[in-house]
Structure 1
Amino acid sequence: MTGPGLVIFDNDGVLVDSERLANGILAELLTEAGLPYTFEETVRDFMGGSMVSMRQKAEAKLGSPLPVDLEDRYHERLFAGFAELQPVPGVREVLDRLDADGIRYCLASSGTHRRIHTALTTVGFWDRFEGRIFSAEDVAHGKPAPDLFLHATNTMGVKPADCVVVEDSPLGVAAANAAGMRVFGYAAMTDPAKLTEATAVFHNMTALPGLISAT
């Protein structure tokens, strides 16, 4: 398989099957804080963004500060749920294919380094990404700004035009486009209509190697 100089994976919902858990917990906490939210609404408004951007958006809607410990309680519930965390179906085989063909890859996520480490360790992917992990904590502006992806490519020594990004959120797609990278939108949980700005949209990880090889 031929391919790009670097494949950049989002983490939640692309490598680890955590989005349903994470968005359900966030909806519960926001509702408890006086800002009623459903699971579907948290997906719509916050999926793919950092906790910093979530707080800014939620407080603007609420008109007052959220509890100072909301993020701590979010991660406490999230990490408890991670005991049952699984890889996204088919992504292990995608990584095996990239390894076999010598295509470099890394991870760039809106999650914290602690969240990324916990998730990857749980599903057995830590060794595959160690030393090639980039978090929104590393940059001034998270997705949809291009900063995180550009930080990753600069560190990895690859030109943005030679990279492809695998994302499942509109914020991530926007960030990849702003960085001048091709981006494949994974629509397993996301409405495909919200990923139309991606270079291509796919619904099953079995399709990803073909998309990568065609770049």
Structure 2
Amino acid sequence: MTVRALIFDCDGTLVDSEPLGAAVFAEALAELGLALTAEAALARFRGRRLATTLAEVGGLLGHALPADFEARLRDRTALALRAGLREIAGAAALVRALTLPFCVASNAPRAKIELNLELTGLRPHFGDRIFSAYEVGSWKPDPGLFLHAADALAIPPDACLVIEDSEAGVVAALAAGMPVLALLPEGDAAWRPRHVPAIRQLSEVAAYLGSAG
């Protein structure tokens, strides 16, 4: 494949926010009477739109969530991120070494993306190349966010390599007609399509860029 640009997911791909967020989420659910471990919450809801996740949780509980649940959850999550967020190993080294255009495209609100990047020192590398599903109106697994990012970079979709850690993200990339790498540091996942390469760490991305990177 000829790679002319990279599109990164954020949570779980550039920053190690998923375990922190899942722990906060599990704690908040326990307060509502729903017993779900952080590991189970992460496995079930990783990479999905929060509104979809909360609707499913309401179904599990059998009643609607409190009106302020999402706002309180986001506040608690931000506190946890500020206290312990780290970059995914190799993220800074990778983006510093890139000579191709690159951006981040995430299902999260822009404020959370920027907070994640700022806390890990990655923010200066991305400039204005930050794309949020909330601003585009398209959430993974829909391909719209990735197609918007490719258009903003002025690179054809099939020349944009996506780096993702979730099923929803991989499905979105494939639907956009983009090559994608599944970042799976803990080992392979049952949801990974067999034709999608899996990598264990970001340092492996360079091997897929070849002379293009």
TM-score by length of 2: 0.91
Residues 1-215 of structure 1 mapped to structure 2, 5 A cutoff: 4-83=3-82, 84-98=84-98, 102-189=99-186, 191-196=188-193, 199-213=196-210
SS in 1 for 2:190: helix
User: 1:192 offset after TM fit, Å?
Assistant: 2.7
Counterpart of 2:151, as a letter, is N
Equivalent pairs, count: 211
Structure 1 gap ranges (5+): none
Counterpart of 2:33, as a letter, is G
SS in 2 for 1:195: coil
Counterpart of 2:76, as a letter, is R
User: 1:181 offset after TM fit, Å?
Assistant: 0.5
User: 1:158 offset after TM fit, Å?
Assistant: 1.4
Matched-pair contact (CA < 8 Å) for 2:4–2:155: yes
Matched-pair contact (CA < 8 Å) for 1:186–1:202: yes
Instruction: Point out the more displaced range, 78-87 or 185-194.
Output: 185-194
Q: Which runs of 4+ in 1 moved over 6 A?
A: none
SS in 2 for 1:153: helix
Matched-pair contact (CA < 8 Å) for 1:138–1:148: no
Matched-pair contact (CA < 8 Å) for 2:24–2:80: no
% identical aligned pairs: 33
TM-score by length of 1: 0.90
| 9 and 71 in structure 1: CA distance in 2 versus 1, 3 angstrom threshold | same
Structure 2 gap ranges (5+): none
Please provide the CA RMSD for this pair: 1.9
